Amino acid sequence: MNILLNFISTFFLIILVTILGAFLSIFERKILAILQNRCGPNRVGWFGSMQIFADVIKIFFKEDWIPPFSKKFIFFISPVISFCISLFMFFIIPFYNKCNILNINNIGVLFFLMLASLSIYSIILSGLSSNNKYSLLGSIRAISQTITYEIFLGISLMSIIIKSNSYNINDIIISQKHMWNVIPQFLNFLVFLIASLAVCHRHPFDQPESEQEISDGYHIEYSGMKFGMFFISQYISIFSVSAFISCIFFGGYLGINNFPIACLILKTLILVFLFILIRASIPRPRYDKIISFGWKFCFPISLLNLFSTAFFVLIYN
């Protein structure tokens, strides 16, 4: 009985998150438009609220073309990998005390790191199997970006783990009862925000896609539903990464006592808005500049932060 209930709730959450991810694309277009003094989609339905259905219908009925020069099997599975990984990221978020779908409490943060590293595989595989120079360029850029941000993503998480003395996300949230981690760890928060922008391939770190230079990079050969999977997985990963940040730095479900879920959702939405705001305002730097920025700036800062956190923890305990 319990297993069945678990199964149903998990299934429900998967559907919900997918729909949310699809809606975020419209939400993002609307917010981008508002930030740029435009109106955004406002024709379909009431103020454009039905635009998502128009988009979904369009994407479903697009011709699903597999290029004859591609490596078929890898080409086929890489959007599935991308979709699954971004979905898994959501499962480690605790919605209220000790309630998360994937009950791997002791290694929650490590699981996140693992997924962040694994998500590069879908990009490499799709870039290689498409047999297209643009997608290959996109995946090369994605790899070079990954070896840059992965380091300081891990290190900046480490200082949080030192501070709360646990890999368990639930424990990390509870350790923020008196003060959110964002205040003592502000530099760390900035570094982690930059790294998480890179995890989701958002502007200004959308090197693997960069429409203007390499015309959509790794998923240039994809169409129809396969493209839709890449597309939605990006938005789901925005959601899950923002939820993760709000757990790590903003106290997750803590806040208003009786509405833990509402608290988490509110924080997540504000962070999603921040992601979109950053996309609207900062242009993309050249990709070697991103690498040097990551190695020469973010990496030392996160190391410094790690050492100082360790120092203070040693002194006070």
Partner 1 sequence: MLFLKNILCNFFSQVRSIFFVFINIFNKRETVMYPEEKTKLFPRYRGRIVLTQDENGNDRCVACNLCASVCPSSCIILQQDKDNNGRSYPKFFKIDFSRCIFCGLCEEACPTAAIQLLPDFELSDYRRQDLIYEKEDLIISNQGKYLDYDFYSVSGVKLKNKNLCKNSKHVNNVDTKKILP
Q: Is 187 in the site for partner 1 (CB under 8 A)?
A: no
Stretch that binds partner 1, among 163-171, 208-216, 240-248, 277-285 (CB under 8 A): 277-285
Q: Which is nearer to partner 1, 90 or 152 (CB)?
A: 152
Instruction: Look at residues 283, 272, 147, 150 and name the one whose alpha carbon lies nearest to residue 206.
Output: 283
Residues 30-59: x where in contact with partner 1 by CB under 8 A, - otherwise, as a string: ----xxxxxx--------------------
Q: Which is nearer to partner 1, 38 or 133 (CB)?
A: 38
Q: Is 9 in the site for partner 1 (CB under 8 A)?
A: no
Separation between Cα atoms, residue 39 and residue 35, nearest integer Å: 9
Question: Would you list the DSSP string of 249-300?
Answer: HS-TT-SSTT-HHHHHHHHHHHHHHHHHHHHHH-PPPPHHHHHHHIIIIIHH
- Of 288-317, binders to partner 1 (CB under 8 A) are 297
Stretch that binds partner 1, among 95-103, 132-140, 235-243, 280-288 (CB under 8 A): 280-288
Q: Is 258 in the site for partner 1 (CB under 8 A)?
A: no
State the sign of the Cα–Cα–Cα–Cα dihedral 43, 238, 192, 215: negative
Q: Which is nearer to partner 1, 193 or 264 (CB)?
A: 193
Q: Which is nearer to partner 1, 60 or 297 (CB)?
A: 297
> What b/e sequence results for 183-220 when a residue is b if at least 16 CB atoms lie within 10 Å of its CB, and e otherwise?
ebbebbbbbbbbbbbbbbbbbbbbbbbbeeebebbbbb
- Smallest distance, partner 1 to C-beta of residue 270, A: 13
Given the structure tokens 């209930």, which residue do they identify? 5
Measure CA 49 to chain center: 24
Applying CB under 8 A, the residues found at the interface with partner 1 are 34-39, 277-278, 280-282, 297
